[in-house]
Amino acid sequence: MTQPTAASSSTPAAASGLRVDGLTVSVNGRTLVDQATFAAPAGKVTALIGPNGAGKTSAIRAITGATRPDSGVMELDGASLIRMRRRERARRVALVEQDAASVLPLTVAAVVGLGRIPHEAAFTSSSARDATIVDECLQIVGMEKFADRSFDTLSGGERQRVHFARALAQEPRLLVLDEPTNHLDLAAQLRALEVLRTRAAGGTVVLAALHDLNLVAAFCDRVVVLAAGRVLAEGDVEDVLDAQLIEGVYGVSATVLRSPDSGRPLFEFQSRLPGPARSPIPTV
Ligand SMILES: Nc1ncnc2c1ncn2[C@@H]1O[C@H](COP(=O)(O)OP(=O)(O)OP(=O)(O)O)[C@@H](O)[C@H]1O
């Protein structure tokens, strides 16, 4: 098993997949991501975790080209993402944003179809294959019955599922998701993470910012821990996520249990807020 690594300036080995080295992002003189170095290997689901304001979204936006970093190397399969042509990057990198809206009045199917645009040859319209992929991706997220609905009429969770489908339809080499489960109900959360595992098993590089450490432990292979813009630890979930790290990063006591089915870690948390201990939930 890979040992967890503290943040360092060394370059992580990632023959295929995403390699981020020394990524620094600042806004108005404030450093949001500070020399972040980590890897997301192909075929694995890598979780990006950390408290609110840690810099996860800022890192994700730089990796996906939404913003330009101050400095650092970001490579996908050895090719610089910064130097990659826009269209090529659009083909290879998909982003599911935290609260994505739609600027245009589009149907659900049309929003998912946006994921096919980077694959269309110049001056051609979408093909039968594109339509099939859109249908398949709507089915994957359980939104096929909404295909003709206006995107604007959807609930928050439904919108998130449609944006997930759009990113899947893009068939990217690198799939980056910023809190993809934050609007989803329990069943949809589990489904989304299962889909990520399937895509990773098919060779996709998956990087997802997540807050729920139990979902991370159950579904992710690797974890990158960000706090105050810096990478504190990186490695296999089993090696990195322990009570000491959780206490240090979140100020929360954690007891590590084991899933009787999978043997993977399960966490029970206790807030360390000052004050009297909470009374148990009253029985009716
Ligand atoms: N344009 C901006 N100007 C100033 N500060 C910003 C800007 N964008 C982000 N920040 C700050 O940068 C820090 C990192 O923000 P970021 O959104 O990357 O955190 P995060 O880890 O994704 O947080 P969360 O878990 O709450 O989504 C935060 O303190 C945020 O307030």
Domains of the chain by residue range: 12-242
- How close are the terminal C-alpha atoms of the chain, in Å? 48
Residue 151: band (very low, low, confident or very high) from pLDDT cuts 50, 70, 90: very high
Q: What is the mean pLDDT of residues 210-222?
A: 96
Q: What is the CATH number of domain 12-242?
A: 3.40.50.300
Rg of the chain in Å (alpha carbons): 20
* Nearest partner of 98 among 175, 157, 158, 179, judged by Cα: 179
Kindly report the protein residue whose alpha carbon is nearest to atom 31 of ligand 1: 53
Closest ligand 1 atom to the C-alpha of 179?
Answer: 27
DSSP letter assigned to residue 44: S
- Dump pLDDT digits (tens) for 53-90: 999 999 999 999 999 999 999 999 999 999 999 889 99
CB of 78 closer than 6 angstroms to any ligand 1 atom:
no
Distance between CA 78 and CA 84 in Å, rounded? 11
Residue located nearest, by CA, to atom 18 of ligand 1? 55
d(CA 83, CA 185): 39
Taking each helix axis as running N to C, give the angle between helix 156-169 and helix 186-201, from 0 to 180 degrees, rounded to the nearest 10: 10
Q: Quick check: CB of 30 below 6 Å from ligand 1?
A: yes
Q: HSE on the CB side for 165, CA within 13 Å?
A: 31
Look-up of token digits 């928050």 = 156
For residue 51, count other CB atoms closer than 10 A to its CB: 16
Q: pLDDT tens digits for 221-237?
A: 999 999 999 999 999 99
pLDDT at 274: 60
Q: Per-residue pLDDT for 12 more than 50?
A: no
Average pLDDT, the chain: 88
pLDDT at 239 over 60: yes
The atom number, within ligand 1, closest to the CA of 51 reads 25
Beta bridge partners of 255: 268
List, in sequence order, the alpha helices (H) in 155-185.
156-169
Between the CA of 58 and the centroid of ligand 1 the distance, in Å, is 6
Q: In whole angstroms, what is the distance from residue 37 CA to residue 136 CA?
A: 36
What pLDDT is attached to residue 79? Answer: 95
Distance 17 CA to ligand 1 centre (A): 26
**Ligand 1 neighbour 52 (Cβ under 6 A):** yes
